[in-house]
Amino acid sequence: GENVEQHPSTLSVQEGDSAVIKCTYSDSASNYFPWYKQELGKGPQLIIDIRSNVGEKKDQRIAVTLNKTAKHFSLHITETQPEDSAVYFCAATAQGGSEKLVFGKGMKLTVNP
Amino acid sequence: GAGVSQSPRYKVAKRGQDVALRCDPISGHVSLFWYQQALGQGPEFLTYFQNEAQLDKSGLPSDRFFAERPEGSVSTLKIQRTQQEDSAVYLCASSLNRDLYGYTFGSGTRLTVV
């Protein structure tokens, strides 16, 4: 089945720096790749997603890139702010077109003021 | 309501007790999912409903776990004879159209089995 690896597991940056989170997946049939932000005591919140027919997508300070050949995708956050501090999860569909997602183990981002 | 609502927020059960966790999805969302999130880990898929039909239950860890959504709205996840390894946060998510809108997760129920 699908396996999603995420790294690094923790990242600490200064306010205003950029942060990059990288994920790899194993199933070449996967076609949907969302990113979630989870704050303490809350459920994961979708922040951006990308489908396999697109190489890059941007939304204000966040962007996601997808390399289908290498089976990896990355989240880029620019001009980080303290409120960006949270755990970030990448995910991929287990099978092409399937509803269920396989998540990475998460990355704890700390943005220091 | 505006979001996915889960109750209770916290549940402490003695080993061997049965528990029932409730999920109220966003009105009109046809897809409903249950995930289990262990401490420090990503969510893991348990089961998926489309309306009242349970289309995928491949993630349920044992026959002690049972989920239902009889009228295609509210869902209940039941765990029988709870064990310590069942301690986790149980997340519910709903979706109108995953490819367009993604999932919306609730805040989860934290289950602690003592």
DSSP secondary structure string for all residues of A77-109? E-S--GGG-EEEEEEEESSTT-S-EEE---EEE
Secondary structure class of B87 (helix, strand, coil): coil
In this structure, are residues B47 and B34 in contact, taking their beta carbons and an 8 Å threshold?
yes
In this structure, are residues B4 and B105 in contact, taking their beta carbons and an 8 Å threshold?
yes
B93 in contact with chain A, both atoms CB, cutoff 8 A: yes
Confidence band (pLDDT; 50, 70, 90) for A99?
A: confident
B102·A51 Cβ contact <8 A: no
Give A94's contacts in chain B (Cβ within 8 Å): 45
Confidence band (pLDDT; 50, 70, 90) for A94?
A: low
Contacts for B53-62 with beta carbons within 8 Å, 24 or more apart? B55/A99, B56/A99, B56/A100, B59/A100, B61/B36
Confidence band (pLDDT; 50, 70, 90) for A54?
A: confident
pLDDT at B96: 86
User: Please, is B52 exposed, middle or buried when counting C-beta atoms within 10 Å of its C-beta (0-12, 13-18, 19+)?
Assistant: middle
Q: Which two tokens stand for residue A63?
A: 């962007």
What does pLDDT average to over chain A? 92
For residue A86, pLDDT beyond 60: yes
For chain B, percent helix, then strand, then coil, each to nearest 5? 5, 50, 45
For residue A31, pLDDT beyond 90: no
Lowest mean pLDDT among A4-13, A47-56, A65-74, B28-37: A47-56
Task: Report, as an integer, the average pLDDT of A14-31.
Answer: 94
Confidence band (pLDDT; 50, 70, 90) for B101?
A: low
How far apart CA A49 and CA A43 sit, in angstroms, is 17
A100·B55 Cβ contact <8 A: no
For residue B108, pLDDT beyond 60: yes
Phi, psi of B84 (to 5 degrees): -60, -35
A40 in contact with chain B, both atoms CB, cutoff 8 A: no
How far apart CA B98 and CA A35 sit, in angstroms, is 13
For residue A83, pLDDT beyond 90: yes
B99 in contact with chain A, both atoms CB, cutoff 8 A: yes
Of residues A31 and B41, more confidence is placed in B41
B8 in contact with chain A, both atoms CB, cutoff 8 A: no
Of residues A30 and B93, more confidence is placed in B93
Q: Tens digits of per-residue pLDDT, B49-90?
A: 999 999 999 999 999 999 999 999 999 999 999 999 999 999
B42·A34 Cβ contact <8 A: no
Q: Is the sign of the CA dihedral B52, B55, B56, B61 positive or negative?
A: positive
B48 in contact with chain A, both atoms CB, cutoff 8 A: yes
Give the Å distances, CA to CA, from A80 to A13, A61, A76, A105, B64. 8, 8, 10, 22, 44
In this structure, are residues A107 and A85 in contact, taking their beta carbons and an 8 Å threshold?
no
Residues 6+ apart with CB under 8 A from B100: none
Q: Tens digits of per-residue pLDDT, B9-52?
A: 999 999 999 999 999 999 999 999 999 999 999 999 999 999 99
pLDDT at B1: 55
B 70-89 residues inside an 8 A Cβ radius of A: none
- CB pairs < 8 Å spanning A and B: 56
Task: Report, as an integer, the average pLDDT of A36-56.
Answer: 92
pLDDT at B49: 94
Q: pLDDT > 70: what percent of chain A?
A: 96
